Amino acid sequence: MALGRRWAELTGKGLPKGVWKFDGQGPLAHHRFHLRVDSHRRGILIVDAAQLVELNGTALDYVRCILEGRSEEDMYKYMDHRYKNLDRAIAVEHYAATARQLEAFVHGDTEVVNVIGSDRPTKGADDFPAPYRMDLVLTYRCQNACSHCYNQPRELVELSAEKWAKVITRTWQLGIPHIVFTGGEPTLAPFLGDLIARSEDYGQVTGLVTNGRNLRTPGYLRDLVSRGLDHVQITVLSHREDVHDHLAGSPGAWRETVEGLKVALSEDLYVSTNTTIMASNLEDMEGTMRFLLELGVKNIAFNGIIRSGKGTEAAGVDCARMEEVLTRLKDMAEAGGAKMMWYTPTPYCQLNPVNLGLGIKQCTACSLNMAVEPDGTVLPCQSYYRPLGNILKDQWENIWNHELCGQIRERKYLDDQCSGCAMVDTCGGGCPLAREHGDYSCPEHL
């Protein structure tokens, strides 16, 4: 962060707009921080690419000084330059209090600060210049042919490695600190490692969403990790080989996925699995949880059917049954020393993830995350196939302020009953795609 400090020394101003990367020191060691400065009055602290904390102007400056490891004396000189006639005792007191809060937060006490959370968009998200995570869909090609896949059949001219590199540069210029490579199957892109390295050069956090089959190739994943890959999510559809292969539409898929998962677990890498819960594998869920725990997976995620692509025809699970299953799975995860995650946003009147101890879940499309298709087209999210523009051809302001983005952020898709609900600010009304599909029925309408 020498550049940021030098800027302040030369100008007496805070950090300019953009994203600044810090590696934790002292009590914050082994944690990775990104400070996104949106204006001199507003910013976001991103902790380990997982949780977001809103910061006002003074908090932004205090946190910046803490992450730079400044002494009280150095902090006061900087703050006094920024805020004239600042009382030294008050500044030192606030500095120490902010440091204590941040230390407590990274060690698990999320009640000490105002946390947005990676699944909860903030009100006024359109005031931000860009999302905090961009999913890069490198290709729609895949070895599997999942019967429930949300990818729509799309024949697109895929960007070259050079153009994808420009996309990554553009995301960094926009202040997006988190990149996830996905597909299709992103490991089919021969230049994946080069793109990870480019993101690493900028200081972005990088993730990979994969079926895991190519990870079994000797040395392949280790090379990605050496280039800067931070986390990987592997899709496991069932602990039973025949069920997984049937749902994946590819004989032999399960064996290769499990081999790839074992390789991932042997690397210095954050590893998670994700399993879509649907009618065709519902009875397998407890067995799948036991299987993953036995393999040593510590981060186990689940989601419901995504109502896009082939997912519009797949048989899902109703909210009442899903709640029963999730309750049992969470108990199993806790007993096995693992963390269970739930990804699908639902109306809280039907399935409340907070009551289940799974945290706040909302639709984050066009707010905390967006997606770029293989040809550069920007989508509200990876499964919402309504183009907003092209990241390499169109002005970002026109994409971010697209009419559809505003409608999604303002929840214009909700009916009057849902809009007037006391829980709507926390709930968000569930996934708009599921709502369009007719998955939700307000209890008062039944």
Q: Which two tokens stand for residue 65?
A: 């000084």
Say if residue 230 is exposed, middle or buried (CB neighbours under 10 Å; 0-12, 13-18, 19+).
Answer: buried
Report which secondary-structure segment, H or E, holds 46: strand 42-47
- Largest Cα separation within the chain, whole Å, is 71
pLDDT tens per residue, range 306-351: 888 888 888 999 999 999 999 999 999 999 999 999 999 999 999 9
The whole-angstrom separation of Cα 371 and Cα 381 is 5
Asked if 260 contacts 254 with a C-beta cutoff of 8 angstroms, the reply is: no
Which is nearest to 440 in space by CA: 284, 304, 301, 280?
A: 304
Which is nearest to 272 in space by CA: 231, 241, 237, 238?
A: 231
Which is nearest to 33 in space by CA: 72, 8, 1, 7?
A: 1
The whole-angstrom separation of Cα 382 and Cα 295 is 29
pLDDT, position 118: 52
Residue type, 96: A
Asked if 193 contacts 181 with a C-beta cutoff of 8 angstroms, the reply is: no
Say if residue 73 is exposed, middle or buried (CB neighbours under 10 Å; 0-12, 13-18, 19+).
Answer: exposed
Give the N- to C-terminal CA distance of the chain in Å, as an integer. Answer: 57
Residue linked to tokens 């507003």? 42
pLDDT, position 179: 96
Residue type, 101: Q
pLDDT, position 108: 77
The whole-angstrom separation of Cα 236 and Cα 297 is 12
pLDDT, position 445: 42
| pTM confidence score | 0.87
Asked if 60 contacts 35 with a C-beta cutoff of 8 angstroms, the reply is: yes
The backbone torsions φ and ψ at residue 302, rounded to the nearest 5 degrees and listed phi first, read -135, 155
Q: Helix, strand, or coil here: 77?
A: helix
Which is nearest to 48 in space by CA: 188, 177, 233?
A: 177
The whole-angstrom separation of Cα 102 and Cα 100 is 5
Angle between helices 285-295 and 253-265 (to 10 degrees): 40
Q: Helix, strand, or coil here: 299?
A: strand
**Residues of the chain scoring pLDDT < 70:** 1-14, 40, 110-127, 441-446
Domains of the chain: 2-112 (no CATH), 125-439 (3.20.20.70)
